[in-house]
């Protein structure tokens, strides 16, 4: 299921779609919306990508393992290999919190609910991909 939604923060219509739970890709389903479905949208993915980019721009993340990056983004765990002090760690966590604040705002405005665990997984994967792309 795909539809357009006017995003008041962007001032434009953005696309949202139901996803295949295993791949995070559009599922092409034409059935009406369901509470049991998972969705992704342009505005939420853009916010996740921007957050990942901001983390990689602000901190040297190349030394973080994939497991550390995942724990950071999904569970707010500062990587063991992080070389900054407490203030830097707080700033790093603020960027992660910003990712989820923006994502939740997008979902609350578009779907009247926060992202579910599956949606959070795919948003995190998108943020991590943007973070890793910035490292190169």
Instruction: Report the predicted TM-score, pTM, of the whole model to 2 decimal places.
Output: 0.89
Work out the angle at residue 120's Cα, subtended by the Cα atoms of residues 54 and 115, and round it to the nearest 5 degrees.
110
pLDDT in tens, 6-30: 888 889 999 999 998 889 988 877 6
pLDDT in tens, 65-119: 999 999 999 999 999 999 899 999 999 999 999 999 999 999 999 999 999 999 9
Radius of gyration of the chain (CA): 16
What's the whole-number mean pLDDT along residues 51-60? 92
Tokens matching residue 40? 């992704």
Annotated domain spans of the chain: 47-135
Cα separation, 123 vs 29, in Å, equals 20
pLDDT of 32 reads 58
Of 120, 106, 108, which Cα lies nearest the Cα of 7? Answer: 106
CB 39 within 8 A of CB 26: no
The band of 36, judged by pLDDT with boundaries at 50, 70 and 90, is confident
The band of 33, judged by pLDDT with boundaries at 50, 70 and 90, is low
pLDDT of 4 reads 87
């Amino acid at each position: 299921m795909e539809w357009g939604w006017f995003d008041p923060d962007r001032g434009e219509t953005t696309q949202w779609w139901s996803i295949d739970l295993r791949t995070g890709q559009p599922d092409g389903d034409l059935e009406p919306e369901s509470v049991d479905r998972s969705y992704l949208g342009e505005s939420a993915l853009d916010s996740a990508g921007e957050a990942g980019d901001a983390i990689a721009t602000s901190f040297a993340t190349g030394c973080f393992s994939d497991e550390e990056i995942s724990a950071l983004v999904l569970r707010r765990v500062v990587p063991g290999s992080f070389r900054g002090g407490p203030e830097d760690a707080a700033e790093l966590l603020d960027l992660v919190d910003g990712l989820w604040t923006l994502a939740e705002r997008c979902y609350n405005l578009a779907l009247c609910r926060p992202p579910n665990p599956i949606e959070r997984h795919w948003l995190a994967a998108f943020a991590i991909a943007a973070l890793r792309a910035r490292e190169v």
